[in-house]
Amino acid sequence: MINCIVCRSEKFESLYNNTLKKCAACGFVTANLEISDDVLKKIYSENYFKGAEYLDYLKDKSTIQYNFRKRLDYILKKIDPKSIYSVLELGCAYGFFAELFTSVFPSKQYVGIDISEPAIKYGQDFLKQNLICTDYLQFNSQIKYSDVFMWDVIEHLKNPELIIEKIYNELEINGRIFITTGDIGSFLPRFKKNKWRMIHPPTHLHYFSASTIKKLLENKGFEMLFVSYPPIYRSIKQIFFSLFLLNKKPWFITKLIFKIIPENLNIPINTYDIMFIGAIKK
């Protein structure tokens, strides 16, 4: 029996026909499966960003970077920009946040890490960013960070508790961590249950609530700065793809509607089930 990564309890309850399991002590939810590192690496091949999970990640660049800009603006209202000097991004993908961050802070040190070789190569070759294709748990950092960013990545990680522990050790005192992930304790997932759009193991392995992510971070030595639920700007084409085409057998009319939706047409959406977390090392 594998213990809960949040509270170490051994007691779990089955959820949604055994697809997920929930800690009986703290309420943390995780996928009811075991997965190897090799399988995970295969999942995050180029196909993941072109049809398996995203419609076309590269074509959605402007929307993705707009969301990153909003998050960065929010952070800069909470902290002194001068306190940012060396940052790490985990799950950097193609380097879109890297490009944005280095344009805003050209003199700051940035490194991005991801296990997707095609994504890292694109960011290195075309965006000229400092990206590394590796498993972060095997990565030996030579520096201390002021800030670490994890955008929509913690739910994908095999061992997020070990990642958070390593981040803590590599942050300076008063260094910060910023995370976005789904909130399974919010109204929509409780209403939708197994139909919640975020439930799709093996890509999403862990399902935090505001209370369980707080407990995990505090257990690892962090102090919470904020939990917020900002709107997310989405491509209408991506939304339609996710709702009506991804992992479905579409009707002819569905495919026809999809074809005529304009590219780069974006709208803000807030279903209050995506949380934005900041915490500080004390």
pLDDT tens-digit map of 55-73: 578 888 988 999 999 999 9
User: Mind giving me the DSSP string for 179-232?
Assistant: EEEE-TTSHHHHHHGGG-TT--TTT--EE--HHHHHHHHHHTTEEEEEEE---E
Q: Return the number of other C-beta atoms located less than 10 Å from residue 103's C-beta.
A: 10
pLDDT at 170 over 60: yes
- Residue 257 tokens read as 């509607």
Query: CA-to-CA distance for 144 and 231, rounded, in angstroms?
Result: 32
pLDDT for res 253: 78
pLDDT at 233 over 70: yes
Better-predicted residue by pLDDT, 141 or 162: 162
Confidence band (pLDDT; 50, 70, 90) for 27? very high
Q: Which residues of 154-178 are buried (b: 16+ CB within 10 A; e: fewer)?
A: bbbbbebbebbbbbbebbeeebbbb
Asked if the structure places residue 9 within a domain, the reply is no
Better-predicted residue by pLDDT, 189 or 37: 189
Asked if the structure places residue 197 within a domain, the reply is yes
What's the Cα-to-Cα distance from 104 to each of 54, 60, 101, 117, 240, rounded to whole Å? Answer: 27, 21, 5, 26, 32
The count of domains in the chain is 1
Better-predicted residue by pLDDT, 170 or 244: 170
**Average pLDDT rounded to a whole number, residues 84-110:** 97
Name 148's bridge partners: 88, 177
Whether residue 250 is preceded by a cis peptide bond, meaning omega within 30 degrees of 0, is no
Asked if the structure places residue 17 within a domain, the reply is no
Asked if the structure places residue 27 within a domain, the reply is no
Asked if the structure places residue 90 within a domain, the reply is yes
pLDDT at 209 over 80: yes
CA dihedral 215, 170, 116, 234 (to 10 degrees): 50
CB-count burial class (<10 Å; 0-12, 13-18, 19+) for 235: buried
pLDDT at 52 over 70: no
pLDDT tens-digit map of 172-199: 999 999 999 999 999 999 999 999 999 9
**Average pLDDT rounded to a whole number, residues 157-175:** 97
pLDDT for res 247: 67
- State which residues form the domain around 144: 35-281
> What is the reported pTM?
0.90
Asked if the structure places residue 182 within a domain, the reply is yes
pLDDT tens-digit map of 234-280: 888 777 877 777 667 777 778 787 777 777 778 899 999 999 999 99
Q: Report the percentage of the chain scoring pLDDT > 90.
A: 76
Q: Which residues of 188-217 are buried (b: 16+ CB within 10 A; e: fewer)?
A: bbeeeeeebebbebeebbbbbbbebbbbbb
pLDDT for res 271: 96
pLDDT for res 179: 98
Q: Return the number of other C-beta atoms located less than 10 Å from residue 123's C-beta.
A: 26
Tell me the CATH number at 166.
3.40.50.150
pLDDT for res 1: 60
Better-predicted residue by pLDDT, 103 or 39: 103
Report the candidate in 146, 215, 206 with the shortest Cα–Cα distance to residue 178: 146
Mean pLDDT of the chain: 92
Asked if the structure places residue 22 within a domain, the reply is no
Asked if the structure places residue 77 within a domain, the reply is yes
